Structure 1
Amino acid sequence: MSFGALHVARTGLDAQGFRMQVIANNLANVNTTGFKRDRANFETLSYQMMTAPGAPATAENRYATGLNLGTGVSLAGTSRIDTQGSFATTGNALDMAIDGAGFFQVEMPDGRIGYTRAGNFNRAADGTIVTSDGKPLQPAIQVPEDATAISIGADGTVSASIPGQEGVTELGRIEIARFANPSGLQAIGDNMLVETQASGAPQVGGAGEEGRGTLRAGMLEGSNVNVVEELVDMIETQRAYEVNSKMIQATDEMMKNATQTL
C-alpha cells in the first residue's frame, strides 16, 4: 500500500513539473508577437479494481460502491488558447495583425507552408515581402524598389504608388488560412505552426471572408499571455508540487515506522 502511495505522489510531482514548464514558456513569450498561451491538461491514470461495485458481499448482499484505487495522474496534452491578443500601432506599412480567426501563410525552407499570427514583415532585397528571418509570405508579393506609399487594405489588398504610373497600383492580395481545429496545429518554433491531421486542411481565402479575420495594417498583435493569471497558476503549481513532496516524505516515514515496529 505504501509503495502505491509513493508511486501516486511521484506522478503528481511529474505532472506539476510539466505544468510549471508550460507556465514558464508562457511567461517567457509574454512579449512575442502573435504568441498564444498554452494550457496543460491532465488525466487520471488507470484504476486498480479491488472490488467491483455490485459484486457479491455475502450470499444475500452486494457492495454498493466497491473498492477502486487510483494510480495517479499524467499529462494528457497541452491546449493552445487562441484568444485575440491586444493590438499595438507601429506605423510600419508592412506590419500586419489579423483581427479575428486565421493565419498568415509562409513558405518554409523545406517547401512546406507554415502558419503564423506574427505579422512583422519586411521587404527582401528583391522586394519580396518576407518574415524577419527571410521566409516569403504566400502568395508571394513583390514590391517594386521605387514604390512609395505602400498600403494594405482590410481585405488584404496590397497597393503602392509607383513613379510614372497614375494613381495607385495593386501589387497583390494577402490570403488568410483558417482551420476547423486550429488547436490541432503543431508548433515548431520561430512563431510557426504546421498542419496536422488533427487540424484538418487549411481553408484559404481573402481576409474578412467566410469567418476569416480582417487585416489591420501598421499594427501588430501582441501575446495573449496574462502575467497575473500565469503568476497565480505558478503559485498554485508550486503548492501542489510541495504537497506531493510532503506525501512522499510522509509515506517514507510510515514505511520506516512499519519496518521498525515489525
Structure 2
Amino acid sequence: MQALHTAATGMAAQELNVQVISNNIANLRTTGYKKQTAAFQDLIYEHIRRVGAQSSDQGTILPVGIDIGGGVKTVGTPRSMTQGTLSQTGNDLDLAITGEGFFKIQQPDGTFQYTRDGTFQSDNQGRIVTAQGNPVQPTITIPQNASGLTVNAQGQVSVTVPGSTTSQVIGQLGLTRFINKAGLQPVGNNQFTDTPSSGPPQDGIAGSEGFGNMTQGSLEQANVDVVSEMSDLIAAQRAYEMNAKVVGAADQMLQTTSALFR
C-alpha cells in the first residue's frame, strides 16, 4: 500500500526537522550562531488521470485530474543570517559586528575561514587570535606592556605604548562579505568556509560601503528565538504522530484485506 511509504517519508522528514530544531536550541547561547530551518518539497506524483486530457471522442477536456503524491523530501537546511542581539562583556578583545561581514581567520594550513564570533584573545606573541589560537586577519600584534587597547567602529586597533601618553594605531582589522552568505559551509568552532554557492570572499573595511561596523566589548548572540523554536518543535512532533497514525491505519486496512482471503 502506497500510504505506508508516503507516511514513512513524512516521519523521516519530521525526524530531521526535530534534529534541526534541537541543534538550534542547543546553540541558544553560542556566540554568533545562525539558526537553521528544514525545507521540504513534495515527491513525484503518479498521474492516474492527467488534468487537461481528452475524456471523450467529442474532445471534452478533463477539468481536474487524479494525482497521487509520493510523500515528502528534504531539500535543504538553509541558515538564517539575520543579525543577533549584542551582549556587552567589557572585554577589550571581544568584538561584535553590526551589519554585514565576517571576521577572517587564518588556519594552520594557510587557508581561511570566516566567523561572526568575535571572542578574541592575544597569544604568547601578542597576536590577536581566536579561542583555537588562529590569527585574525590581517594579523595584528599587540606590543609588549602596551595599555589602553581600543578598537573603533572601523576596526582600527590602537594602544598606548610605554613612554608615550597618546595612543597610536597598530593595525586595521578587516571584514569579509559574500554575495550569498547563506551558501557558506559550516565547519564547526563557529566558523564557515566559502563555497561556489556563497561566491568568492570580498575583503573590506568595517564602516565602508556594504560592510557593517565593529563594537568593542560586546559579542553577537545567537539569532535563535526560543518561543518560535518550541512552537516549531511541538508542530513537528504532532506531524510525526499523525504520520505514525497513518502507518497504523494503513496496517489495519491491510490486515482487514488479508483476512478476507482466508
Q: Same fold (TM over 0.5)?
A: yes
Distance 1:108 1:238 in 2: 40
Deviation at 1:164, TM superposition (A): 2.2
Distance 2:61 2:81 in 1: 49
Say which of 8, 11, 20 aligns to 2:9: 11
The equivalent of 1:55 in structure 2 is 53
Q: Which blocks of at least 5 consecutive residues in structure 2 are unaligned?
A: none
Q: Which blocks of at least 5 consecutive residues in structure 1 are unaligned?
A: none
Amino acid at match of 1:255: L
The equivalent of 1:135 in structure 2 is 134
Q: Over aligned residues, Cα RMSD in angstroms?
A: 0.9
For normalisation by structure 1, the TM-score amounts to 0.97
The 10-residue stretch of structure 1 (158-167 or 141-150) with the greater mean CA deviation from structure 2: 158-167
Deviation at 1:83, TM superposition (A): 1.3
The 10-residue stretch of structure 1 (150-159 or 45-54) with the greater mean CA deviation from structure 2: 45-54
Matched, 1:118 2:120: no
Deviation at 1:68, TM superposition (A): 1.3
Distance 1:184 1:168 in 2: 40
The 10-residue stretch of structure 1 (115-124 or 60-69) with the greater mean CA deviation from structure 2: 60-69
Amino acid at match of 1:257: T
Distance 1:90 1:54 in 2: 65
Deviation at 1:166, TM superposition (A): 4.8
Say which of 8, 31, 46 aligns to 2:29: 31
The equivalent of 1:158 in structure 2 is 157
Alignment of 1:82-101 (within 5 A): 82-101=81-100
Distance 1:109 1:31 in 2: 27
Matched, 1:241 2:240: yes
Corresponding residue SS for 1:83: coil
Say which of 18, 38, 41 aligns to 1:20: 18
Deviation at 1:110, TM superposition (A): 2.6
Distance 1:145 1:86 in 2: 34
The equivalent of 1:214 in structure 2 is 213
Distance 2:36 2:258 in 1: 45
Distance 1:45 1:189 in 2: 32
Distance 1:43 1:246 in 2: 21
The equivalent of 2:185 in structure 1 is 186
Corresponding residue SS for 2:187: strand
Distance 2:223 2:61 in 1: 54
Amino acid at match of 1:48: E
For normalisation by structure 2, the TM-score amounts to 0.97
Corresponding residue SS for 2:150: strand
The equivalent of 2:79 in structure 1 is 80
Amino acid at match of 2:216: A
Matched, 1:170 2:163: no
Q: Residues 183-215 of structure 1, C-alpha deviation per residue, up to 9 Å, x if partnerless?
A: 000001110100000000111110011211100
Deviation at 1:62, TM superposition (A): 2.5
Deviation at 1:67, TM superposition (A): 1.5
Amino acid at match of 1:15: A
